[in-house]
Copies of this chain bind each other. A is one copy, B any other.
């Protein structure tokens, strides 16, 4: 089979790979129905994360179970399943408190931009839908593997509640799905920070009540103006740079909450500044496994349609163009079909 492999900055190739096999009895192999390019895939693509060797890419996936190991009992051949970007056993103490992305036996997924994928800890990682879903639901179900669950975690970590004022920093797919999540959680006012027309439009469709185009200190000043000088109750930080993190902190009211899910790159927080900002901070790799059952339900009932973030669909063999389109911000998120 052929899948995507990154060799260096801006060098993603579609090339021959070994067919995945069951290695441990707790593994499964799935036949990928759809995969996609993650915002975090752009870090190595842009040369910001080092690439030490050719690396199979992709960690967002859903598909049909092809084969299971001898110890797998909950997942069966032929089921449609979705799993997190971190495989987790779902039984260790960390999983049991709902932080499966810090599972004591977690394994970071890779190689999902391919026709088939080995999934470790299959019983813990994968959640099956009641039946094989219609094809038009596959994009929305795919988002639950990472991007939608990450937006949901951002909103939950930012303590979004009915009646509150929310700011979302970052208009990538995670930020946009943070808007959708905040709306689902009953936020009254959702301010999306965005200067791209197509993203503003989708933000409004997902529930944003206001758009702010300014960034940095100007963006903060605008948020303060809109909130009686106080700042927002909750801010979702969905980028991961020093500027976006400081913008999030400064846009939050004293006693307010920041949920940060953009993997920090070069971010350093000054202790005293954070102290006097008086904010709550929570974030990290989203425990999307925890949310899978509920979010699958919302998608299947048609309550949410997070698949709208895919504004470019390509056959898998054009994966390199999928990266380029996102890198150049021509696409919000690229769906890939094997």
Contacts and interface: CB of A to CB of B under 8 A. Distances in A.
A93 B165 CA distance: 14
Nearest to A100: B254
Interface in A250-278: 253-255, 260, 263-272, 274-278
Report which residue of A271, A275, A281 has the largest number of chain B beta carbons within 10 angstroms of its beta carbon: A271
B281 A282 contact: yes
Interface string A272-301: 101111111111110000000000000000
Nearest to A267: B271
Contacts of A53: none
A: contact size bracket: 35 or more
A229 B93 contact: yes
B275 A102 contact: no
B268 A97 contact: no
A228 interface: yes
A99 B284 contact: no
Contacts of A209: none
Contacts of A79: none
Interface string A95-118: 001110110100000000000000
B278 A99 contact: yes
A285 B281 contact: no
A275 B281 contact: no
Contact of A276 (B228, B265, B278, B284): B284
Given A269-B274, A275-B260, A94 B284 contact: no
A268 B269 contact: yes
If over half of A's interface residues share one DSSP class (helix, strand or loop), that class is named, otherwise mixed; here it is: mixed
Interface in A240-255: 240, 242, 245, 253-255
A230 interface: yes
A155 B102 CA distance: 25
A109 B99 CA distance: 42
Contacts of A101: 278
Interface string A223-237: 000001110000000
A45 to B, nearest CB: 19
A97 B284 contact: no
A263 to B, nearest CB: 7
A158 to B, nearest CB: 11
Given A93-B228, A282-B281, A99 B268 contact: no
B254 A97 contact: yes
A97 B232 CA distance: 12
Contacts of A93: 228-230, 253
A313 B281 CA distance: 39
Contact of A280 (B228, B253, B267, B281): B281
B272 A267 contact: yes
A282 B280 contact: yes
Given A278-B284, A285-B275, A99 B263 contact: no
9 contacts: A93-B229, A98-B255, A263-B275, A267-B271, A268-B269, A274-B281, A276-B284, A276-B285, A280-B280
For the complex of A and B, the 3 pairs showing the least CB-CB separation, nearest first, are A267-B271, A264-B271, A102-B254
Interface of A: 93-94, 97-99, 101-102, 104, 228-230, 240, 242, 245, 253-255, 260, 263-272, 274-285
